[in-house]
Structure 1
């Protein structure tokens, strides 16, 4: 958990990676039974559905929280925000890829909104911790909101401001969440997908501020 880099490397110092993914992914979500991925590279989803990307520490627990929300069609875990092509988990853990662990969420906007998912995002992790989450230290655990549309971008900034003001009112630290246009999402290895359904007693590590999103 400890001793991993807590600052991003210069892009020319990161690992090069590889041109193609080295593993085959399962066709269907282990819990929801829906297709696991359409095309993660371009953010596409089935007609009528929307994609969102969030980074909030270890992706095992983050994915579990999101697949339980009504209106979520599918989830997948992967690596995002770095420069290494098609990285492996071991490479990401080295800190030499600049990726963070991320969750890809496909949802029905008539049932649950992007704002609702964002509120959940803020409430289930601590967005003030910088390059860590709880006992997990390193750049791969940084908080991130990666938007895919102008509407998501606006919502991300607006709700971050609202929640930041609530944290300040409670005397807590500033939000350190990385907010930017969604970079390429590289799916993680098959055994990481829906990990906590495979291993129900597995590692759940999320810290949180204890502050609910203001009504």
Structure 2
């Protein structure tokens, strides 16, 4: 296979016919959060809400969110693709369609969804298409995956506001996908809270330096 065809494969979502078949059962992963000991898969307190974001390599993204006051638990995983129960090795081929994402379980009384969106926009570059910096491929695309009509509306509103701020700074168009949350597949044990286990490990997060306007009446506590 040529380098060009390999590059094309990793930067285009595969069709159902091209996608790897996957498997019927989930892959093995951790059961508890390495940092705070809370259950990765629940049950969680009923007052909590869930968000999901793709911002490039999920190692740094997960650390970004678990450090936010009001976030109860985080998990690294794969979403937005075709192949069921994918492994990391399979997603790296570009033939599953999945994105590296982070599931964020949070207390809305402490940190609002708008505040999480602000962090999302400011801490990566949402204009790069199928990449983040030197990380190239569909698994590194920018994405917001919503769990309610309210989240979806807030995500779109924040995207429009941030586009205005980016355009005023001479930057390009946002390529972030905003979709109803697809099925979330937990990543392997060693990916969970990776930078807590490997403090000197790779983190590819790089923001644009452009601030995201915060909706009126929302105080930023993060």
TM-score, normalised relative to structure 2: 0.91
Q: Secondary structure at the match of 2:75?
A: strand
Matched-pair contact (CA < 8 Å) for 2:54–2:144: yes
Residue in 1 that maps onto 2:10: 5
Q: 5+ unaligned residues in a row in structure 1: which ranges?
A: 40-44
Which structure's CA Rg is the greater one? Answer: 2
Q: 1 CA distance for matches of 2:94 and 2:27?
A: 20
- The Cα shift of 1:26 comes to 2.6
**Runs of 4+ deviating beyond 2 Å:** none
Q: 2 CA distance for matches of 1:204 and 1:22?
A: 24
Could you tell me which of 27, 32, 36 is aligned with 2:31? 27
Q: Secondary structure at the match of 1:159?
A: helix
TM-score, normalised relative to structure 1: 0.94
Q: Secondary structure at the match of 1:11?
A: coil
- The Cα shift of 1:21 comes to 1.1
Residue in 1 that maps onto 2:41: 37
Q: 2 CA distance for matches of 1:153 and 1:201?
A: 35
Could you tell me which of 13, 18, 27 is aligned with 2:23? 18
Q: Secondary structure at the match of 1:175?
A: coil
Match status 1:79 vs 2:83: no
- The Cα shift of 1:8 comes to 1.1
CA deviation profile, 1:95-126 (whole Å, cap 9, x unmatched): 00000000000000000011100100001000
Q: Secondary structure at the match of 1:13?
A: coil
Q: What root-mean-square deviation, in Å, do the aligned CA atoms of Structure 1 and Structure 2 show? A: 1.3
Matched-pair contact (CA < 8 Å) for 2:30–2:188: no
Match status 1:187 vs 2:176: no
Q: 1 CA distance for matches of 2:45 and 2:176?
A: 29
Q: 1 CA distance for matches of 2:32 and 2:82?
A: 28
CA deviation profile, 1:40-80 (whole Å, cap 9, x unmatched): xxxxx430000000000000000000000000000000000
- The Cα shift of 1:190 comes to 0.4
